[in-house]
């Protein structure tokens, strides 16, 4: 069984920002350093991790769970051809493959928790659906990718808020008057005005002041890691700093900044060649950037 601090979910609010490329190369980097790593594709509607690793036509994946609707499935682990690195594929691109019921998602999550590995990397779909956020929250503290564009930064903020509010809403699930403050999935029931932690605490103080302490504990235990991708200029790094300030100010959460990856044709080319850049060009700037991120992660997690 893998402990939650060794489950590393890689997510972000926006599509196409480099979640899968970074997740794959981080997993490769840790595997090359001798750790036993499993890389899991949880992007059921648009899976592509296998392609990034050069695994063509994967013979099985989570789709085998969904079809049989059974948790007595054979091992889904596939070899990747890279020492210490195994892969679990998602569900393919068949229409409807992303529409998985919560019971099946629960089976998938149990399967992930029961893996035997030093580290498990989860590559997430874009967006803030509960299926995605619940995968993110499987990890003690996931990694969030952002790019410097304003739209990406805004979506990253929303992603962190969604993950935090989801953690709180799980504790409030049996208390109708509290859950409507943090579960905004149904706007007709929710209190949509509660968009920041200060507003939430103010409203909780009026309803049930003890819950303010509970919220503080959840905030303290939530330390998402941030990675800035597609950095072209020095000034691009400011976007990550601004985001961290926003997250501290409005959510009370202190993200851990792990570093950045430059914009590089070498990253793009490695995708086309189906070989992770950490293997293909280990001395390149992107590979150095990635090693810095791995070192920062290792320092932050002892
Ligand atoms: N640092 C970079 N430099 C150059 N190109 C990059 C960089 N990072 C990502 N890309 C390009 O962006 C593309 C999309 O990356 P990736 O598939 O990892 O995004 P994603 O966030 O996982 O997308 P989705 O949300 O669709 O799953 C890659 O195929 C690659 O061409
Ligand atoms: Mg992806």
Whichever domain contains 150, its CATH number is 3.40.50.300
**End-to-end Cα, the chain, rounded Å:** 20
> What separation in Å is there between the alpha carbon of 24 and the centre of ligand 2?
10
Nearest atom (ligand 1) to Cα of 18: 18
Which of the listed residues 17, 18, 229 should we mutate to test ligand 1's pocket, taking the one with most ligand atoms within 8 A of CB?
18
Domain that holds residue 11: 4-300
Provide the domain count of the chain.
Answer: 1
The closest alpha carbon to 161, from 4, 300, 13, 10, belongs to 13
Residue with structure tokens 């803030």?
Answer: 128
Phi, then psi, of 49 in degrees rounded to 5: -60, -40
**What is the pLDDT tens value at each position of the chain, 302 positions in all?**
777 779 999 999 899 999 999 999 999 999 999 999 999 999 887 778 999 999 988 888 877 766 655 555 567 899 999 999 999 998 665 655 666 778 888 888 888 999 999 999 999 999 898 889 999 999 877 999 999 999 999 999 999 999 999 999 999 988 888 898 998 888 888 888 888 999 999 999 999 999 999 999 999 999 999 999 999 999 999 999 999 999 999 999 999 999 999 999 999 999 999 999 999 999 999 999 999 999 999 998 76
> What separation in Å is there between the alpha carbon of 45 and the centre of ligand 2?
10
pTM, two decimals, is 0.93
The verdict on the CB of residue 14 being under 6 Å from ligand 1 is no
């Amino acid at each position: 069984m893998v402990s939650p601090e060794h489950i590393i979910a890689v997510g972000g609010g926006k599509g196409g920002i480099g979640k899968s490329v970074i997740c794959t190369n981080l997993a490769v980097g840790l595997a090359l350093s001798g750790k036993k790593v499993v890389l899991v594709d949880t992007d059921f509607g648009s899976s592509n991790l296998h392609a990034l690793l050069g695994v063509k036509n994967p013979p099985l994946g989570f789709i085998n769970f969904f079809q049989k609707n059974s948790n007595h499935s054979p091992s889904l682990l596939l070899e990747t051809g890279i020492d210490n690195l195994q892969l679990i594929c998602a569900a393919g691109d068949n229409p409807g493959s992303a529409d998985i019921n919560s019971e099946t998602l629960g089976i998938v999550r149990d399967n992930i928790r029961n893996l035997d590995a030093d580290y498990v990397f989860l590559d997430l779909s874009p967006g803030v659906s509960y299926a995605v956020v619940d995968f993110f929250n499987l990890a003690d503290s996931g990694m969030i990718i952002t790019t410097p564009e304003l739209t990406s930064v805004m979506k990253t903020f929303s992603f962190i808020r969604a993950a935090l509010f989801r953690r709180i809403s799980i504790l409030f699930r049996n208390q109708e008057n509290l859950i409507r403050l943090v579960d905004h999935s149904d706007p007709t029931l929710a209190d949509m005005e509660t968009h920041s932690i200060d507003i939430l605490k103010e409203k909780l103080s009026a309803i049930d002041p003890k819950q303010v302490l509970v919220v503080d504990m959840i905030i303290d235990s939530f330390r998402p890691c941030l990675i800035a991708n597609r950095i072209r200029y020095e000034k691009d790094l400011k976007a990550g700093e601004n985001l961290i300030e926003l997250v501290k100010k409005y959510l009370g959460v202190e993200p851990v900044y792990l570093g950045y990856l430059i914009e590089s044709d070498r990253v793009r080319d490695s995708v086309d060649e189906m070989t992770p850049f950490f293997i293909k060009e280990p001395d390149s700037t992107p590979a150095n950037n990635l090693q810095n991120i791995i070192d920062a992660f290792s320092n932050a997690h002892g």
